[in-house]
Amino acid sequence: MSPKNLNALNKTHKFLLNQLKDKQTSKIYKKFEENLKLNEDFIVAVSGGPDSLALCFLSKIYSIKKRLKVKYLHVDHKLRKYSTKEAKFVKLLLKKLSTNLEILNWIGKKPKSNIQSIARDKRYALMINKAKKLKINNILLAHHKDDLMENFFIRILRGSGLNGMVSFDQITNLQNINLIRPLLKFSKKNLEYITKKVFKNYLEDPSNKNDEFKRVKIRNFIKNLELEGLDNDKFSLTIKNLKFANESIKYFVEKNLKDNSTISNINKFVILNENFFLQPEEVVFRSLTEVLKTVGKKYYPVRGKKINNLLYQIKKDNSFMTTLGNCLIKKVNNSVIVSKER
């Protein structure tokens, strides 16, 4: 290591250690370290908001202590006029940690509707592609406890079932890349405390104040519920109990997939036999959803209404062919063949 780089590293270490002298910061970091338990190199997704900057700070300390390599990525969606300027601002903020931020650009036609959902999918796609090039299997995301609550109410509005309402797991695997959420036990207030103390500044996303977006409406709704006495601890207990019930159903879904489906690695298709569809309704629904998600290589599952329509067609017709979720679905006699749509 050159004297210049060694000096920069020493300054970073000193800066980080000084921050940990603060009792609240130290307490938050210790909890973060206990939650993460990662011994492999990783990537951190950085938006520039207080949540992701807090994650940058905590993960930087973690990487030094564990002697792990870490890469910081920011996606410039180019959906707003000043997005490129904002990306450069975030890059400058991370220099405080002697950390280089790589900016990934979303090139191509931009959506006019369902903007946040499409942007999220594109963001994951860009980061996963980069992770594969770097041969790094882990991406850290800054979702926190408040996001968990927002997601719960959003799924209720969509008519989601039990799995949908509690599907914000700490680790999700997509295309053999682990998407890790080490902040799910932290409140936004904890993370804002870290960011204000360390960085003094952060990026304000104007979409967070635009009540045309469903998530913003839900956020405001939750604030009103808190004024009426919504208890975060009781909410967490409710989620925990629902997850216990959900794990029981998952067991039978996995059993159904194991016993009643056949995967062809050569031709890359899945055959679902007749017994696959003779299980309890929720088990069949989830099993088919998982098959479509895996074969179609989609991060988010196909909407429930479309799955129900497909199941009705499977039950009604002896033979048919259709497409859904990047998959080609074909029924032949009593079996269903699912392959990647070309």
- Whether 98 maps to a domain, the answer reads yes
Task: Report the SS3 class of residue 70.
Answer: strand
The pLDDT score that the predictor gives to residue 44 is 97
Cα separation, 276 vs 284, in Å, equals 7
Of 79 and 177, the one with more pLDDT: 177
Q: Give the end of a domain, one of 198, 230, 262.
A: 230
Look at the pTM and tell me if it is higher than 0.85.
Answer: no
Q: How confident is the model at residue 9 (pLDDT cuts 50, 70, 90)?
A: low
pLDDT computed for residue 81 by the predictor = 84
Residues 252, 156 share a domain: no
Residue 324 pLDDT: 94
Task: Using the predicted structure, report yes or no on whether residue 61 has a pLDDT greater than 90.
Answer: yes
Q: Is residue 122 part of a domain?
A: yes
Out of 230, 263, 278, pick the residue that ends a domain: 230
CA distance linking residue 190 with residue 183, whole number of Å = 10
Sole residue written with tokens 């949908």: 164
Does 99 share its domain with 144?
yes
In this structure, are 201 and 66 located in the same domain?
A: yes
Helix (H, G, I), strand (E, B) or coil at 271: strand
Has residue 31 got a pLDDT over 80? yes
Are 225 and 124 found together in one domain? yes
Q: Which residues contact 84 (CB under 8 A, 6 or more apart)?
A: 76, 78
Residue 84 and residue 134 in one domain: yes
Q: What pLDDT shows up at residue 52?
A: 95
> How far is 215 from 147, CA to CA, in rounded Å?
10
At 205 the pLDDT is 66
Identify which of 73, 44, 231, 212 has the alpha carbon closest to the alpha carbon of residue 139: 44
Q: Indicate if the pLDDT at residue 112 is higher than 80.
A: no
More confident residue, 287 or 333: 287
**What share of the chain has pLDDT > 90, as a percent?**
53
The Cα–Cα gap between 201 and 93 comes to: 8
Question: 220-224, 268-272, 334-338: which has the minimum mean pLDDT?
Answer: 220-224
Question: Would you state the pLDDT for residue 266?
Answer: 62
Q: Is 60 exceeded by the pLDDT of residue 204?
A: yes
| DSSP letter string, 114-146 | SHHHHHHHHHHHHHHHHHHHHT--EEE---BHH
DSSP 2: -
Same domain, residue pair 269 and 141: no
Instruction: Report how many domains make up the chain.
Output: 2
Are 211 and 301 members of one domain?
Answer: no
Which range marks the domain in which residue 204 is found?
Answer: 3-230
- Residue 75: the pLDDT is 94
Looking at the structure, tell me whether residues 169 and 272 fall in a common domain: no
Mean per-residue pLDDT, 144-161: 83
Q: Do residues 88 and 114 touch, judged by C-beta distance below 8 A?
A: no
Which pLDDT does position 299 carry in this prediction? 67
Residue 240 lies inside a defined structural domain of this protein = no
Residue 6: band (very low, low, confident or very high) from pLDDT cuts 50, 70, 90: low
Please give the Cα distance from 275 to 159 (Å, whole number).
27
Cα–Cα distance list, 294 to 111, 130, 284 (Å): 25, 20, 15
CATH number at residue 187: 3.40.50.620
CA distance 324 to 328: 7
Q: What is the pLDDT of residue 182?
A: 95
Residues 200 and 336 in one domain: no
Per the CB < 8 A criterion, the answer to whether 189 and 20 are in contact is no
Residue 163 resides in a domain: yes
Rounded CA-CA distance 317/78 in Å is 46
Asked if residue 138 lies in contact with residue 171, where contact means CB atoms within 8 angstroms, the answer is no
CATH of the domain at 318: 3.30.465
Q: Please write the tens of the pLDDT for every residue from 280-310.
A: 999 999 999 999 998 988 767 888 889 999 9
The answer to whether residue 17 scores a pLDDT higher than 70 is yes
Residue 293 to residue 308: CA distance in whole angstroms: 15
Which pair of tokens denotes residue 212?
């045309």
Averaged pLDDT for residues 312-337: 92
Q: What confidence score (pLDDT) does residue 240 get?
A: 85
Distance between CA atoms of residues 242 and 155, nearest Å: 14
Q: Are residues 149 and 213 both part of a single domain?
A: yes
> Is there a single domain that holds both residue 159 and residue 307?
no
87 domain-assigned: yes
| Residue 236: inside a domain | no
Residues 59 and 190 in one domain: yes
State the Cα–Cα distance between residues 55 and 303, nearest whole angstrom: 31
pLDDT, tens digit (0-9, with 9 covering 90-100), for 238-263: 888 988 999 999 999 999 999 999 98
pLDDT per position as a tens digit, 120-135:
888 999 999 999 999 9
CA Rg value for the chain = 22
